[in-house]
Each structure stands twice: as structure tokens, then as C-alpha cells.
């Protein structure tokens, strides 16, 4: 029995009650990565947490895609800085 680690975007959109265009836009902005086969497009299960975060920011807080892209970049930078602080504390501690 084959185990899959992804879900079709159609099933995903039904589950979350969102439009497929939102997923395609997130993919276009590099916020998620869609998997394309011959006839179906999928999203990996490991990306669903990010999708839920982007849905909340976009639909509930009305942040546009450019804003989501900026938030992703800033959070990645904060994470890098936190890792650097931990490393520096390890060197001096």
C-alpha cells in the first residue's frame, strides 16, 4: 500500500473552504510549493501548517500577498538572529 505525503489542492480547498487561486498565488509568491503531476496539483502535508498561518493572516487580518511575503522574510531573519544569539551565548558561556 502506497503512503502519500500530500493532498490535492482541490481536496485541501474543500477542507479549508478556500479558493484554489489562493493556493496558486501563495505558490507564485514562493510562500508554499505546490507539486504538479500530469493532471493534478498537490500540496505536501508538511506545508499545511504554513498554509493555515497564511490563511489566518490573509483572511482574518486582511494582509495581502506582498505583506505575507514580507512577514515570511522577517520571521526567517528573526529565526536566524535567534540562532546566532544562541551560538554566541554558547561561545561565551
Sequence-ordered list of residues with C-beta below 8 angstroms from that of 32, at least 6 positions apart, any chain: 23, 26, 43, 47, 50, 51, 54
Q: What is the pTM of this model?
A: 0.84
Pick the CATH number of 6-92 from 3.30.70.100, 3.30.70.360, 1.10.1660.10, 3.40.50.720: 1.10.1660.10
Indicate whether 31 pLDDT > 60: yes
Q: Encode pLDDT of 47-89 as tens digits.
A: 999 999 999 999 999 999 999 999 999 999 999 999 999 999 9
Strand order in the sheet with 41-44: 6-8, 41-44, 34-36
Q: Which residues pair with 7 in a beta bridge?
A: 43
Rounded to whole angstroms, the Cα distance separating 36 from 28 reads 13
For the chain, the residue count is 93
Q: What is the pLDDT of residues 17-27, one digit of tens each?
A: 999 999 999 99
The pLDDT score that the predictor gives to residue 92 is 75
- pLDDT of residue 1 exceeding 70: no
Domain ranges of the chain: 6-92
Amino acid at each position: 500500500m502506497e503512503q502519500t505525503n500530500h493532498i490535492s489542492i482541490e481536496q485541501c480547498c474543500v477542507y479549508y473552504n478556500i479558493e484554489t487561486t489562493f493556493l496558486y498565488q501563495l505558490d507564485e509568491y514562493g510562500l508554499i510549493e505546490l507539486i504538479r503531476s500530469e493532471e493534478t496539483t498537490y500540496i505536501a502535508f508538511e506545508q499545511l501548517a504554513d498554509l493555515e498561518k497564511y490563511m489566518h493572516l490573509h483572511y482574518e487580518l486582511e494582509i495581502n500577498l506582498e505583506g505575507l511575503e514580507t512577514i515570511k522574510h522577517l520571521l526567517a531573519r528573526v529565526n536566524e538572529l535567534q540562532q546566532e544569539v544562541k551560538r554566541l551565548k554558547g561561545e561565551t558561556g
